Chain A
Amino acid sequence: MAFGVVTLVLSYVVQPKYPESEKLSAYECGSEPFSDARMPFPVRYYIFAMLFVIFDIEVIFLYPWAVVYGQIGLFGLVEMLVFIALFLVAYVYAWRKGALEWD
């Protein structure tokens, strides 16, 4: 953190500053920028983000189980088989619904 701030400040002191409107405009291969760049983007991204949140939480549940697995034996194994089966139901549902397609 300190490294970042110190380097930025030092660099700010030594660098040249010659602002021009042409230079400050957004890069668009040399042509004049048109329209706002903050356009709406496809809903696909949201679907993947939500799938990620759901599945990632399930993965986090696997971590404590994996740590104590050596001590809980058969009970832990069966519990986790049930858990992963539920995980698979959600996964197969998302797949069959076409949520994992990108086109």
Chain B
Amino acid sequence: MTEIGLRAVISLAQIAAVMGVVMLTVMILTLAERKVLGWMQDRMGPMEVGPYGILQPIADGLKLFFKEDIVPAGANKFLFSLAPILALVPALIGFAVIPFGPNDTIEVFGLQIKPFIVSDINIGILYILAFTSIGAYGIILGGWASNSKYSLLGGLRSAAQIISYELNVGLAIVGVILLSGSLSLVKITEAQSGWFWNWFVIALPFPQIFAFVVYVISSVAETNRLPFDLPEAESELVAGFFTEYSGMRFAFFFIAEYANMILVSCIAAILFLGGWNAPAPFLQFNGSLANLAWLSGIFWFTVKVYFFLFLFFWIRATLPRLRYDQLMRFGWKVMLPIALANILITSIAAYLFPR
């Protein structure tokens, strides 16, 4: 009993820590996005709240928290309340299998625990793919339950877009699994240790650069970010599937979108850029947890994730929105053949030159 209880307490503490980091990152992202977009357009971004505008996320959060929560007259109340939670939970639950740092174990009260990963299950990738698909339910239910034309159109578009690009994500990941021989995110990261040319994006026998490009473009589309933000296109659908939402429920959709951005960035960093591995062995300090060597792992992981997050903002500032038929054609007729060809070539290369 005591061992199980202790394990539960430690797991809860880990979950709380990961949630805290994710929420903090979401707050930083909302400010960072406005700042980066501002700089790219030669403006300053938010400057009023706090020194240099850095308290803006707290002001936004407090404002949304104290706002009235409107349920439209014609809405289906149960589904309307369920949808934001259904969008948020899958976005946060995926972080349970992300290894944030080296796979070391430490001993706490006689139990072996891994401090940087909540649970290292051997089907990590499948788990994340399954839960990101559930996130689509939250969006389409929110769109349908609102009883508004804009919301319904946004929800439908979002569903079609997410399932189209989900396929490309799944196909792009197969190449990485071929080379690493495991679905566990920890094993995939460990397969890329050493120099940076062991990272799967440029690793022999066949560099996964095409899978990488397909994955990044598809994940931008899956998180409904520009230039693929047709489900919430301001100029035609007001705000898409969350037109009718206000207050905290609106905030949930908002947090879910940003948490999804962080999640896909983490996966991209792990699958293609070597996760917590440093670009060169001498940049990665070896040793136990006691001598702070784990800091270098955390550092490199954070750098890679923030690189992808910056890429999201950069793309948003650069590219105009696609038309819907262009979006679907691009997903089904360009990305899908590239991803399939990548699997074929990778499997032949992996047979001829086994690692």
Bound-state CA distance A27–B340 (Å) is: 43
B148 touches A70 (CB 8 A): no
The answer to the question of A55 belonging to the interface, with a C-beta cut-off of 8 Å to chain B, is yes
- Which of B178-186, B205-213, B276-284 is the contact stretch? B178-186
Bound-state CA distance A43–B355 (Å) is: 47
Interface residues of B in 215-256 (CB under 8 A from A): 238, 243-244, 247-249, 252
Bound-state CA distance A33–B152 (Å) is: 14
B69 touches A11 (CB 8 A): yes
B72 touches A26 (CB 8 A): yes
B147 touches A52 (CB 8 A): no
Number of interface residues, chain B, beta carbon within 8 A: 64
Q: How distant is A76 from chain B, measured CB to nearest CB, in Å?
A: 8
Contacts of B149 in A (CB 8 A): 26, 28, 37, 39
Query: Taking beta carbons and an 8 Å cutoff, which residues of B are in contact with A?
Result: 19, 65-74, 81, 84-85, 88-89, 92, 126, 144, 146-152, 156, 159-160, 163-164, 166-167, 170-171, 174, 177-178, 181-183, 238, 243-244, 247-249, 252, 324-325, 328-329, 332-333, 336, 340, 343-344, 347-348, 350-351, 354-355
B89 touches A56 (CB 8 A): no
Contacts of A52 in B (CB 8 A): 163-164, 166-167
A24 touches B73 (CB 8 A): yes
Bound-state CA distance A84–B346 (Å) is: 13
Count contacts between A and B, CB distance < 8 Å. Answer: 154
A-B contact pairs, 25 of them (CB 8 A): A4-B88, A11-B247, A15-B67, A16-B66, A18-B68, A21-B73, A25-B74, A26-B73, A27-B244, A29-B238, A37-B151, A37-B152, A38-B144, A38-B152, A48-B164, A52-B163, A52-B166, A56-B163, A59-B170, A59-B171, A62-B174, A88-B340, A100-B328, A100-B332, A102-B325
Residue B68 contacts which of A15, A45, A55, A68 (CB distance < 8 angstroms)?
A: A15
| A64 closest partner in B (C-beta) | B183
Residue A49 contacts which of B65, B151, B163 (CB distance < 8 angstroms)?
A: B163
| B352 closest partner in A (C-beta) | A77
Query: Taking beta carbons and an 8 Å cutoff, which residues of A are in contact with B?
Result: 1, 3-5, 7-8, 10-12, 14-18, 21, 23-29, 33, 36-39, 41, 44-45, 48-49, 51-52, 55-56, 59-60, 62-63, 66-70, 73-74, 77, 80-81, 84, 87-88, 91, 95, 100-103
| Chain B interface mostly | helix
Bound-state CA distance A49–B328 (Å) is: 12
Q: How distant is B348 from chain A, measured CB to nearest CB, in Å?
A: 7
| A44 closest partner in B (C-beta) | B160
B160 touches A49 (CB 8 A): yes
A102 touches B328 (CB 8 A): yes
B73 touches A56 (CB 8 A): no
A63 touches B85 (CB 8 A): no
A80 touches B347 (CB 8 A): yes
Bound-state CA distance A24–B252 (Å) is: 20
A66 touches B177 (CB 8 A): yes
Contacts of B89 in A (CB 8 A): 1, 4
Name, among A12, A24, A51, the residue most crowded by chain B CB atoms within 10 Å (CB to CB): A24
A59 touches B247 (CB 8 A): no
A77 touches B351 (CB 8 A): yes
Bound-state CA distance A7–B62 (Å) is: 12
Residue A4 contacts which of B69, B85, B126, B174 (CB distance < 8 angstroms)?
A: B85
B328 touches A84 (CB 8 A): no
B160 touches A48 (CB 8 A): yes
Contacts of A5 in B (CB 8 A): 85
B19 touches A59 (CB 8 A): no
| A70 closest partner in B (C-beta) | B181
Apart from A56-B170, A62-B174, A84-B343, list 9 A-B contacts with CB within 8 A.
A4-B252, A14-B65, A16-B68, A21-B73, A37-B149, A39-B149, A48-B164, A52-B166, A69-B347
B328 touches A27 (CB 8 A): no
Bound-state CA distance A5–B89 (Å) is: 11
B177 touches A67 (CB 8 A): yes
